[in-house]
Amino acid sequence: MIMTQQRPLEDQYDVIVVGGGPAGMSAALGAKEAGADRILIVDREKEPGGILLQCIHPGFGLQQFKAELTGPEYAQRVHEQVQAADIQIATDTYVLDITPAKQVQLMSGSEGMKLIQTKAAILAMGARERTRGAIRTPGRRPAGVLTAGLAQKFVNLMGVLPGHRAVILGSGDIGLIMARRLTLEGVEVAGVFEIMPYANGLNRNIVQCLQDFEIPLHLQTTVVDIQGRDRLKRVTVAPVDNHFQPDLSRSWDIDCDTLLLSIGLIPENELSRQLNIRIDPITNGPVVDSRMETSRDGIFVCGNVVHIHDLVDFVSAEASLTGRNAGLYVTGQLPPPDNIRLVPGENVGYCVPQTISSDRDHTVYLRSRQPIENCTLRLGDVYEKKLRYVFPAEMINLSVKPRFLQKFHGDSLKIDLLPP
Amino acid sequence: MTALDNAQPDTLSHYLCIGCPMGCRLEVETEPDHPSQIVEVRGFSCRRGEQYAHQEHTEPRRMVTTTVKIDRGIWARVPVKTLEPIPKGQVKDLCIALRQVCLTAPVERGAVVLADALGTGVDVVTSRSMAAATFDNVAGSAVR
Ligand SMILES: Cc1cc2nc3c(=O)[nH]c(=O)nc-3n(C[C@H](O)[C@H](O)[C@H](O)COP(=O)(O)OP(=O)(O)OC[C@H]3O[C@@H](n4cnc5c(N)ncnc54)[C@H](O)[C@@H]3O)c2cc1C
Ligand code: SF4
């Protein structure tokens, strides 16, 4: 991404987008399409792209670009679309606060503090990684214990290796990808430990990131102690029972100077909380209607800030819907509010959006609570479909058509994932 | 050899199918003494799994993505990738070879970093463009 001199900030915009990751950029494009004129994307980093810039592995873009791209390629392509649409981006700029009257307080590297009025705002701040505190790992606090995504940034962008011998806690895709990445850079990876009875990452990553390099994956096993005064020296791991209680009599020690935590992402919603937006306790993201509007008028959201997506392609699809609606809001054409509430039922962890309308097409994203083979997805008594296999780490998308709802007159629909 | 090894004749190989989240356990049976001659593939639930087992058993290949050094870039590394998958056995060697490479910013996406890598016939190219650092965007600067 070749840098150009930043355009000065104006005092007023139609739409301000907080976050220049794939969500923010696709949303800005959607807003432009829907007729918004003056759009500003703000990102605190020195270039747009978000977390994709450090995800150098392939697997992105199969749906959006019909090609298998790496993260940086995906980011660059979207960035090029944003440049072609002549949308302004302010990098090195932090959004500190948004008032209910939609004044955006930001801190710009080149212009200092600024208060800017906008007609609509789109929150696309992404997610941050769960840290050690979130799982209350016992033991000392030496250097060498870090999140997998931070290690990814060190290695892939800054060219710094986190250590010589690593243990990875958590079998999510980021952890698996980092197991391969460290191995290829000459760091020894002693093993990946997962407390659940199944791996959380894709099979492709289990095979190509672990099996290819003979890195062991220990299921139902966790880290029970962290040792070392200044630098990590050793971790102790132990198998757990079905209630996640470790069996210390069967524990063993592993010498290592690095422990990577790959234990999940949490939507980054400080700004949303400051705005008193209603947050869903399950997704940890704002409650949204099918227009991707939050509980605050004119404040829209998209991407990992709403719920954790495993595929950036879905992020882009959701974000362009968000952007279009923000654009329609600005031009006074936003469709009417929803009339049907979606209720997560049997085996459904959550669904987004939380409400829908009977008069248009929707894509509803949901997650199962547990793996189920030959599952039946049921939407109230209006629609049913068979799914060969559902799995918590893989988001399910359900396309809801107005014709399903022709004869439906209620105000809520339960979604169930039923075993055979 | 342990008893377990004896119970698993060397005419059997096992693979985890990556075609979908089902993750079928695939078993490939080969002719005794001819590990490349497949007699039967078992354990798949669909054609994709069967084809995958053949490919993985006879000629496993992988896309390689890694980084190379870059001087004067806004970051210290630039990501690169193979344009096609290369034989699995050459992945580590390729990464080691790429540690010797150092580019100078600016670079464009798709620039060839290593042609015909390790004689595979596959080129390694940059997977992003990267601007040269200026006072305003120097690598690693969070605060100015
Ligand atoms: C470490 C990691 C690895 C991942 N690996 C994969 C993967 O391999 N494949 C995959 O499909 N998905 C992966 N994901 C998921 C990935 O995050 C999403 O697919 C997608 O990138 C989310 O896009 P986003 O725009 O919502 O968030 P992000 O890409 O996180 O972008 C958010 C942007 O907002 C900016 N921002 C936040 N707060 C502010 C503020 N107050 N002011 C200004 N700017 C702000 C941030 O700097 C960032 O640039 C990964 C996520 C993480 C965290
Ligand atoms: S064999 Fe078919 S069903 Fe089984 S994992 Fe492979 S692609 Fe999926």
**pLDDT tens profile A313-372:** 999 999 999 999 999 999 999 999 999 999 999 999 999 999 999 989 999 999 999 889
Closest-CA distance, A54 to chain B, in angstroms, reads: 9
Has this prediction a pTM greater than 0.90? yes
For residue A178, the chain B residue with the least C-alpha distance is: B66
* Closest-lying ligand 2 atom to the alpha carbon of residue B22: 5
Residue A131 confidence (pLDDT): 84
Cβ distance of B139 and A109 shorter than 8 Å: no
Residue B35 confidence (pLDDT): 86
Do residues A233 and A141 touch, judged by C-beta distance below 8 A? no
Amino acid of residue A194 = E
Nearest ligand atom owner, CA of B52: 2
Q: How far is CA B132 from CA A414, B71, B106, in A?
A: 54, 8, 5
DSSP per-residue letters across A353-402: SSEE-TTS-EEEEEEESS-EEEEEEEETTTEEEEEEEE-TTS-EEEEE-G
Residues of A in contact with B17 (CB under 8 A): 203
- Which residue in A288, A266, A286 sits closest to A274, CA to CA? A286
Structure confidence by residue, pLDDT tens digits, B35-78: 889 999 999 999 999 999 999 999 999 999 999 999 999 999 99
Size of interface A-B (CB pairs under 8 A): 102
Tell me the C-alpha distance between A92 and A107, whole Å: 9
Probe site for chain B from A46, A52, A94, A198 (most B CB atoms < 10 A): A46
Residue B137 confidence (pLDDT): 55
Q: How far is CA A277 from CA A99, A117, A298, A304, in A?
A: 11, 19, 12, 16
DSSP per-residue letters across A49-111: -GGGGG--SEEE-TTTTSS-EEHHHHHHHHHHHHHHTT-EEE-SEEEEEE-TT-EEEEEETTT
Q: How far is the CA of A51 from the centre of ligand 1 (A)?
A: 4
Residue A5 confidence (pLDDT): 62
Residue B139 confidence (pLDDT): 46
For residue A3, the chain B residue with the least C-alpha distance is: B131
- Which residue in B139, B136, B82 sits closest to B105, CA to CA? B139
All residue ranges of chain A with pLDDT < 70 are: 1-5, 134-135
Q: Is A267 exposed, middle or buried (0-12, 13-18, 19+ CB in 10 A)?
A: buried
Confidence of residue B19 (pLDDT cuts 50, 70, 90): confident
Evaluate whether ipTM surpasses 0.85.
yes
Probe site for chain A from B15, B75, B95, B141 (most A CB atoms < 10 A): B75
Structural domains of chain A, with CATH: 12-128+266-330 (3.50.50.60), 131-263 (3.50.50.60), 340-418 (no CATH)
Share of chain B above pLDDT 90, in %: 77
Cβ distance of A46 and B130 shorter than 8 Å: no
Structure confidence by residue, pLDDT tens digits, B78-92: 999 999 999 999 999
Do residues A59 and A87 touch, judged by C-beta distance below 8 A? no
* Closest-lying ligand 2 atom to the alpha carbon of residue B23: 5
Cβ distance of B79 and A391 shorter than 8 Å: no
Residues of B in contact with A389 (CB under 8 A): 20-22
Confidence of residue B8 (pLDDT cuts 50, 70, 90): low
Do residues A246 and A239 touch, judged by C-beta distance below 8 A? yes
Cβ distance of A184 and B109 shorter than 8 Å: no
Structure confidence by residue, pLDDT tens digits, A263-298: 989 999 999 999 999 999 999 999 999 999 999 999
3-state secondary structure string across chain B: CCHHHHHCCCCEEEEECCCCCCCCEEEEEEECCEEEEEEEEECCCCHHHHHHHHHHHHCCEECCEEEEEEECECCCEEEEEECCCEEHHHHHHHHHHHCCCEEECCECCCCEEECCHHHCCCCEEECCCECECCCCCCCCCCCC
Residue B138 confidence (pLDDT): 55
Structural domains of chain B, with CATH: 3-58 (no CATH), 65-126 (3.10.530.10)
Structure confidence by residue, pLDDT tens digits, B96-117: 999 999 999 999 999 999 999 9
Is ligand 1 within 6 A of the CB of residue A309? yes
Residue A144 confidence (pLDDT): 94
Residue B136 confidence (pLDDT): 58
Confidence of residue B143 (pLDDT cuts 50, 70, 90): very low
Segment holding A22, helix H or strand E: helix A22-33
For CA atoms A385, A389, A390, A394, give the dihedral sign: negative
Residues of B in contact with A70 (CB under 8 A): 65, 79, 81, 127
- Which residue in A242, A235, A21 sits closest to A142, CA to CA? A235
Tell me the C-alpha distance between A178 and A353, whole Å: 32
Residues of A in contact with B128 (CB under 8 A): 1, 53, 72-73, 75-76
Nearest to B21 among A47, A70, A389 (CB): A389
Do residues A148 and A178 touch, judged by C-beta distance below 8 A? yes
Nearest to B129 among A1, A58, A156 (CB): A1
Residue located via tokens 């704002």: A286
Q: How far is the CA of B45 from the centre of ligand 2 (A)?
A: 5
Is ligand 2 within 6 A of the CB of residue B16? no
Segment holding A343, helix H or strand E: strand A340-344
Residue identifier of the C-alpha nearest atom 3 of ligand 1: A174
